[in-house]
Structure 1
Amino acid sequence: MSLKALLLSAFAVLFMWPGSAASAHAEFLASDPPDGATLTEQIDTVTLAFSGEVATIGEGFTALDSTGTLTAASIESTVDGAEWRIGFDRPPTGSVVVRWEVKAPDAHPFTGSIGFSVPGSPAGSEAAAAVTEEALREFARTETSSPQLLGAVGRIIGIAGVMLSIGALAFAGLVVRGYPSLVARVMYWVRRTALLIPLGAAVEFVAQIGQVGSVGGVVFSTFGVALGLRVAGGMLLLMQAPLSGPPVPTAAPTGERLLVAAGHVALPRPAETCETDLVVPSTSPDGTASLAAVAMLVGAFLFDGHTVTEGSRVLTGLFDAVHVLAGAVWVGGVAMLAVVLWSFRAELAPAEQARVVLRFSTIAAVAVVGVAIGGIVLAITILDGVSDLWSTQWGRALAAKTALAAVAGACGAYNHRMLIPDLERGFSPSSTLDQIRVIVAVEVTALLLLLAVTGWLVGASS
């Protein structure tokens, strides 16, 4: 069996892996006593409720009160693992903080804490000095650990690779078709950005093991399925053609529209404007392998993140796929448009550059609509209310992502409504293209920052 066939078989197995509604991030829901409560009588147990099944990792459940560390005499959970009851060896006194370190079934870990106060005061001033209010606040603080930061870096690398490679692949097939040298240059970037996918997956895998503490706990989880799909999809893209250097312009006879020699194809150019032609190896993506790779990479998002725990699994997954695929076409397409406009500005006639811009403009408009529809539906599904946009980590990241998308969208809209009509009318194409290059550069910058925020968003607690 060839490596490509093996990867396609792995895709079929992984994509059909059964998932449940509990197979993504869990979140803290409530506690008894509630966070911030002031009680009138002493207690010896605390109950914590989560949105789905969780399991303890690291230190698990720990507590501290005004007299010192509380020891958990008993820890019990319900059958579904969503509610935990912690019994202490003595009644807490004064200010109390309970902290947890747990993981969801998809192996994503998360930490948190609650605080409340109970009657009584520390026995003796020496004990009181040992556990100050500042010490309690420090204990309650759940800072991001090194493995969590490493995991965020891996997600950003991997998501950037997915979005850029899929978008570049679409750009090669839909925008620069008929221009062999441009297809070759874009496919060069497809393979280069695809390298980021297994690299990001490897970094995430190591980081997840560092948090969960078990290789099997990561591999045999929906998160492991997501990583497997990404690696398989990335490998298929890397197998599209050998990893060689970028196409290099070489001289060709003046006035020739098409040059074919020794298996090389030149870019068609108007004879009257042609000084040199681009001679590059002819290359094109394998349609079946490319579609399988895209399906794997998009499908991986259905096994990781927040979307599979909210609403209808089928509908939420559908809108998630639309959001990811449309976003990739937009982000990767804009990046490749910048490559074409800046790298080929001297070799490609203004009329041909304008044709590429016009082709992508139509595709980008459809992609932006898909991004907006998918994003709005997912936000409504995941957020409990508008206040979550500033009161939760996930909401704040979403607000930042939306702001960056608005900047990029404004750049695209300006090109589409103000500059592209000038290209269609043939009004000063060189000057108009110079303006488009600058706007596209700004749009690419905003979209690359958006990818970084998206990587953080996938792992953030909602």
Structure 2
Amino acid sequence: MRAHAVRPPGRAALLALAVLLFALALAPASAASAHAVLLGTDPADGAALNEAPATVTLSFNEPVRPIEDGTVLVDGTGTERTLTATTRDDDVIIELPADLGEDRYYVNWRVVSADDHPIAGVLAFTVGDPPAGAAPAPPSEPEDTVPLPLAAATALHYVGLLVFAGLLFFRIVIARGARRGRPRHRLLRAGAAAAITGAALAVPLGALDIAGLPFGRITDTGSWAGLVEPAPLIVLALTAVGVLTAYAAFTRGPRTRVALVAVAAAVAAPVLVGHSMAFGERWLMIAADLVHLATGAIWTGGLAGLLIALRWRASDAAENARIVARFSAWAGYAVAVLGASGLVMALSIHRTWDGLFATDHGRALIVKLALVAVALALAAWNRFRLVPAVADAGARRAGLARLRRILTVEAAVVTAVAVLTGLLVNLSPAVEKPPPAAVLPLGGVTSVHEELGDGGIEAHLTPGLMGENTVMLTLTDAEGLPFQPLEAPTVSAFLPEDDFGPVNAQVHDLELGKYHCVVDLPLAGEWELTVQTRLSEFESVTTTMTVEVG
């Protein structure tokens, strides 16, 4: 079948699309939340009760799904019991055993939000007068978790898919009529293999992440098979069928229309597991994500195809010049729409500066935008300085050589952008665990001093043993005088090695710049004690110290 000439879309149409997407991004957000947030509990965290409650209620700002066997009750002796959790509207109802006596209890819960990110926490309460000295047993040895392998699998899927789809588009549309070569077919096969492998690995790794299980349990299919979500399976099916169908149609036909339709289905697949399904106006996010993926593929795969053409047919300068001119036209429009669609998603996900600068997702997005800016600068240099040189028959060979060198750098930067795009899918815009600032000794009175804006914060914790611990906070300004923040600080504790927490504490004012709270640390290990202080309307500082509890 003969490939038909396809021209790039008109400037007016693309400009209108970019302006429309940007305007819609500035519209008020819908009721869909950026991330599920715990609004309250019944009983309250840290409550002292005369009688044991029949249930515990967790209230969220949107519907969530409890994880099977993901809710555990721990008593003062360390005995664990798995609880049953059900949902009612935006609430999670946890049934407690009927035989709870006077003791200290911790409900360790885990749910999944609408964007398929797991959320966990601990609710502590006491019944009657707990036995003196009661404390849970130490946890088992920590194991590696799966966020990094899951992010790597997703990045592999994205890079392979964008290279495959873009290279196919390059061959059918941009380099139409040019001779085919084995290098391009080898890269097509490599892209297809990477895309399918990444999508396949994301299925078990995603289930392990939801369950909070370590990476070492991936061979224990019984522990995660029941937690596999439908969306990753659909993504795998669309990727495999779309990529294989497109490859067969292109190499054995060539049936170009079938190949383009099949690869379009594969490129659309990642939308099912991205943030598009849970943020802002869903239809707008899905549309922007689809456009973002498609234009990203044209740019990424097109660069790969152009580099292969320039290297494989280096002697055919006239044909290479024609291909460069076609790619330059398509890439210019693709980059404009790519930027507009990316801005739409960024504004829909992060509607405040705090969300952009204070989260792992936001910081990774900033790095991605910086890399895109570098790639855009290289592309602009190619478009306005080197492409005209290539068009000049007298300077064509030298221009192509310089263009090839710049394109190699641009392709490396764009590949890094594609990797970051895959990583962003697995970062929650609302989750951040600050790194520890200091390690405190075991037991006794422990203290640490950290910077707090221009001043400082001093924290004392005692006794540093399992059970209730008292935290005393002192805030000072640049001159060492007591400092009163805009609001009282918040204190929470998290045990990374056992994925236990966060355990929130109720902070009380003592006097100017001084606060205290009591926090339950029920398990032995290195706890991260996080203090968040709001210095002003626009500045919030997070300080984290690590205390070893025995």
What's the TM-score once normalised by structure 1's chain length?
Answer: 0.69
Q: Secondary structure at the match of 2:228?
A: helix
> For the structure 1 residues 178 and 149, does the alpha-carbon distance in structure 2 shift closer, same or farther, using more than 3 Å as the test?
same
For the residues of structure 1 that align with 2:33 and 2:226, how far apart are their CA atoms? Answer: 18
* C-alpha contact 1:25 1:104 (8 A) present in aligned 2: no
1:29 to 15, 29, 37: 37
Aligned-partner residue type, residue 239 of structure 2: R
Aligned counterpart, 2:266 = 297
> For the structure 1 residues 26 and 365, does the alpha-carbon distance in structure 2 shift closer, same or farther, using more than 3 Å as the test?
closer
1:284 CA drift (Å): 6.3
Aligned counterpart, 1:355 = 322
Q: How does 1:11-410 map to 2 (within 5 A)?
A: 27-32=35-40, 42=48, 45=56, 47-49=58-60, 51-57=62-68, 60-62=70-72, 69=78, 76-80=85-89, 83-84=92-93, 89=100, 99-104=108-113, 108=116, 110-113=118-121, 145-146=145-146, 148-181=147-180, 185-211=183-209, 213-215=223-225, 217-218=227-228, 221-240=230-249, 285-345=254-314, 347-349=315-317, 351-410=318-377
* C-alpha contact 2:35 2:278 (8 A) present in aligned 1: no
* C-alpha contact 1:33 1:116 (8 A) present in aligned 2: no
1:414 CA drift (Å): 1.5
* C-alpha contact 2:300 2:411 (8 A) present in aligned 1: yes
Q: Secondary structure at the match of 2:67?
A: strand
> For the structure 1 residues 121 and 380, does the alpha-carbon distance in structure 2 shift closer, same or farther, using more than 3 Å as the test?
farther
Mean Cα deviation higher: 189-198 or 369-378: 189-198
* C-alpha contact 2:37 2:60 (8 A) present in aligned 1: yes
> For the structure 1 residues 72 and 335, does the alpha-carbon distance in structure 2 shift closer, same or farther, using more than 3 Å as the test?
same
Show CA shifts across 1:33-81 (max 9, x none).
Answer: 69xx997x63675635264331214x5134779x664867965543246
1:331 CA drift (Å): 0.9
For the residues of structure 2 that align with 1:291 and 1:167, how far apart are their CA atoms? Answer: 10
For the residues of structure 1 that align with 2:127 and 2:383, how far apart are their CA atoms? Answer: 66
* C-alpha contact 1:236 1:290 (8 A) present in aligned 2: yes
Show CA shifts across 1:251-291 (max 9, x none).
Answer: xxxxxxxxxxxxxxxxxxxxxxxxxxxxxxxx764223212
1:444 CA drift (Å): 1.1
1:393 CA drift (Å): 3.0
For the residues of structure 2 that align with 1:92 and 1:442, how far apart are their CA atoms? Answer: 63
What's the TM-score once normalised by structure 2's chain length?
Answer: 0.59
For the residues of structure 2 that align with 1:204 and 1:238, how far apart are their CA atoms? Answer: 23
1:355 CA drift (Å): 2.3
Show CA shifts across 1:333-390 (max 9, x none).
Answer: 1122222223333x322x3322222211111111111111111111122224222123
Aligned-partner residue type, residue 259 of structure 2: S
For the residues of structure 1 that align with 2:127 and 2:359, how far apart are their CA atoms? Answer: 31
For the residues of structure 2 that align with 1:338 and 1:91, how far apart are their CA atoms? Answer: 72
* C-alpha contact 1:330 1:368 (8 A) present in aligned 2: yes
Q: Secondary structure at the match of 1:177?
A: coil
For the residues of structure 1 that align with 2:125 and 2:357, how far apart are their CA atoms? Answer: 27
For the residues of structure 2 that align with 1:164 and 1:228, how far apart are their CA atoms? Answer: 19
Aligned counterpart, 2:439 = none
1:306 CA drift (Å): 1.3
* C-alpha contact 1:161 1:193 (8 A) present in aligned 2: yes
Aligned-partner residue type, residue 329 of structure 1: I
* C-alpha contact 1:97 1:113 (8 A) present in aligned 2: no
For the residues of structure 2 that align with 1:336 and 1:99, how far apart are their CA atoms? Answer: 52
Show CA shifts across 1:4-57 (max 9, x none).
Answer: xxxxxxxxxxxxxxxxxxxx99844124369xx997x63675635264331214
1:227 CA drift (Å): 1.9
Question: Identity rate of aligned residues, in percent?
Answer: 26
Aligned counterpart, 1:272 = none
> For the structure 1 residues 241 and 166, does the alpha-carbon distance in structure 2 shift closer, same or farther, using more than 3 Å as the test?
closer
Aligned-partner residue type, residue 42 of structure 1: A
> For the structure 1 residues 84 and 341, does the alpha-carbon distance in structure 2 shift closer, same or farther, using more than 3 Å as the test?
farther
Count of residue pairs brought into register by the alignment:
378
Show CA shifts across 1:317-343 (max 9, x none).
Answer: 211111110111011111222222233
* C-alpha contact 1:26 1:104 (8 A) present in aligned 2: no
Aligned-partner residue type, residue 145 of structure 1: T
* C-alpha contact 1:169 1:186 (8 A) present in aligned 2: no
Where structure 1 has 5 or more consecutive residues not aligned to the other structure, the ranges are: 1-23, 243-282
> For the structure 1 residues 285 and 321, does the alpha-carbon distance in structure 2 shift closer, same or farther, using more than 3 Å as the test?
farther
* C-alpha contact 1:168 1:187 (8 A) present in aligned 2: no
> For the structure 1 residues 292 and 30, does the alpha-carbon distance in structure 2 shift closer, same or farther, using more than 3 Å as the test?
same
Show CA shifts across 1:226-246 (max 9, x none).
Answer: 22211111221232366xxxx
> For the structure 1 residues 380 and 82, does the alpha-carbon distance in structure 2 shift closer, same or farther, using more than 3 Å as the test?
farther
Q: Aligned pair 1:456/2:413, yes or no?
A: no
> For the structure 1 residues 423 and 63, does the alpha-carbon distance in structure 2 shift closer, same or farther, using more than 3 Å as the test?
farther
Where structure 2 has 5 or more consecutive residues not aligned to the other structure, the ranges are: 1-31, 212-222, 430-550
Q: Secondary structure at the match of 1:419?
A: helix
Aligned-partner residue type, residue 156 of structure 1: A
For the residues of structure 2 that align with 1:116 and 1:413, how far apart are their CA atoms? Answer: 58
For the residues of structure 2 that align with 1:90 and 1:26, how far apart are their CA atoms? Answer: 40
> For the structure 1 residues 76 and 154, does the alpha-carbon distance in structure 2 shift closer, same or farther, using more than 3 Å as the test?
closer
1:171 CA drift (Å): 0.7
> For the structure 1 residues 441 and 33, does the alpha-carbon distance in structure 2 shift closer, same or farther, using more than 3 Å as the test?
same
Aligned counterpart, 2:412 = 445
* C-alpha contact 2:108 2:121 (8 A) present in aligned 1: yes
Aligned counterpart, 1:19 = none
Q: Secondary structure at the match of 1:42?
A: strand
> For the structure 1 residues 26 and 231, does the alpha-carbon distance in structure 2 shift closer, same or farther, using more than 3 Å as the test?
farther
Q: Aligned pair 1:429/2:396, yes or no?
A: yes
